Amino acid sequence: MKSSFRKVRKAVIPVAGLGTRFLPATKSMPKEMLPVVDRPVVQYAVDEALEAGVEHIVFVTGRNKAVIEDYFDLHPELIGTLEQAGKVAEIKSLETLLPVPGTTSFTRQQAPHGLGHAVWCARDIIGDEPFALLLPDMVSFGKRGCLAEIMELYGETGGNVIAVEQCQSHETNKYGIVGQGQATGSGFEVTAMVEKPKPADAPSTYYINGRYILQPEIFTLLGTQARGAGGEIQLTDAMVRLADNQAFFARPFGGRMFDCGSKEGFIQANVAFALKRADLKGSVLEALREMIAENDRAAAA
Ligand code: UTP
C-alpha cells in the first residue's frame, strides 16, 4: 500500500433498519440475527471485516436491536452450563467468535431515516479517517471476503472504493449502478453513480453490492443531505456529491454476495453455505435432489 493512503482501521456495520422485506420474522427479531446455517448474518460481516484487517467495528443499532449487542457479549450462564456438560468444543468456538474487548462500539440511530443517516450516526466514533462500510444483510461468499478484495484496490488507488457485481440488464432498476471508466489496478474508475436507473438509462450493469471504503468527508455531506428516494437519507446521493471532489473506484467481486435481506437470497445463502460444510453437504445435497425430483414429478403430473 502506498504510504500516502491512510490505513482503514475502522468499519461501520449499520443494523438499525426495519427489515420490512422479512416480515413477519422481523416483527420481534432483527434481520441481522437471522442465521445462515448456524451463524447470524451479522457474524459473517464481522468475520469479513476482521479478515480484511479492520481493527475496530462500529455498530449502528436501533430500537429492538439490543439482542445484537448481547450476541457479541460473554454469556457466563451458558458457558457454565456447557462446562458442566463437558462441551469443550462448543465453549472454544463461542470464545473465538467474541470480539476482543474494546474493539467494538455501539451507537444508536433513533429512527431508521435511511442508510445515509445510519452511516452519519457513526461520524464521531470514526473521526477523521477513511473507514469501511459493510451492509450485513449482504453476505459475502467466495474464496476471500469482498472487503479484503476492495482493501487491495484501495491500496492501489486510495480514494473511495466500492465493490460491484453484475446484474441482468433488465434488473438495473433494483440497484445502485456505477459507470465503468478506465481500468485502474485491480478495478476501474467510476464515472457515474445512479440509484435504481431504468435499463435504458443505466450507465452499465455493475451494481453496488454493499461493501465500501469511504473517506471521512462523506460525513459532512451526509449531515446536509436532503431526503431522497423513499423519504430517506440515501448514502448514494451523498456519494454522488463526494464524487465531485474525490475519485471513486470499483472492483468486481470475485465471489458472490447473497442478499439475505430478501427471502430468495437468504434461502440461497443457507444452501450455498451448507454445501460448503463437510458435516452437512451430503445430507443437504441428498434432500435437495429428492425435493427437485419430487417437484419435477409434480410438475409433469
Ligand atoms: P436495507 O435497506 O437493506 O434495510 O439496509 P432495511 O430498510 O432494514 O430493509 P427492508 O428494505 O425494510 O427489508 C441495509 C442495511 O442498512 C441498515 C439495515 O439494518 C441493513 O443492515 N439500515 C438501513 C440502517 O441501519 N438504518 C436505516 O435507516 C436503514
CA gap 10, 58 in Å, rounded: 7
The vertex-187 CA angle with 268 and 127, nearest 5°, equals: 85
State the DSSP code for 233: -
265 C-beta closer than 6 A to ligand 1: no
In short, whether 20's Cβ falls inside 6 Å of ligand 1 is: yes
116 lines ligand 1 (CB under 6 A): no
Q: Is residue 60 within 8 Å of residue 68, measured between CB atoms? A: no
Residues 197, 294 within the same domain:
no
**Residues across the chain:** 301
Structural domain range at position 287: 265-301
Q: What is the pLDDT of residue 4?
A: 62
Ligand 1 center from residue 5 Cα (angstroms) = 30
Flag whether 188 is in a domain. yes
* pTM greater than 0.85 (yes/no): yes
Cα 245 to middle of ligand 1, angstroms: 28
pLDDT value, residue 1? 53
pLDDT digits (tens, 9 = 90+) for 222-268: 999 988 888 999 999 999 999 999 999 999 999 999 999 999 999 99
Is the CB–ligand 1 distance for residue 135 below 6 Å?
A: yes
Name the band, by pLDDT with cuts 50, 70 and 90, for residue 42: very high
> Which has more pLDDT, 25 or 250?
250
Nearest alpha-carbon partner for 164 in 236, 254, 235, 241: 254
Task: State the pLDDT at residue 289.
Answer: 97
- pLDDT-derived band at 2, boundaries 50, 70, 90: low
How many angstroms does the Cα of residue 147 sit away from the middle of ligand 1?
19
Total domain count for the chain?
2
Query: At 205, which CATH number?
Result: 3.90.550.10
Distance in angstroms (rounded) separating the CA atoms of residues 97 and 284: 25
Is 4 among the domain residues?
no
pLDDT-based confidence at 63, cuts 50/70/90? confident
**At which residue does the C-alpha cell 450485513 appear?**
136
Are 115 and 213 members of one domain? yes
What distance in angstroms lies between residue 156's CA and the mean position of ligand 1's atoms? Answer: 31
Percentage helix, strand, coil for the chain under 3-state DSSP, each rounded to 5: 40, 25, 35
Same domain for 150 and 82: yes
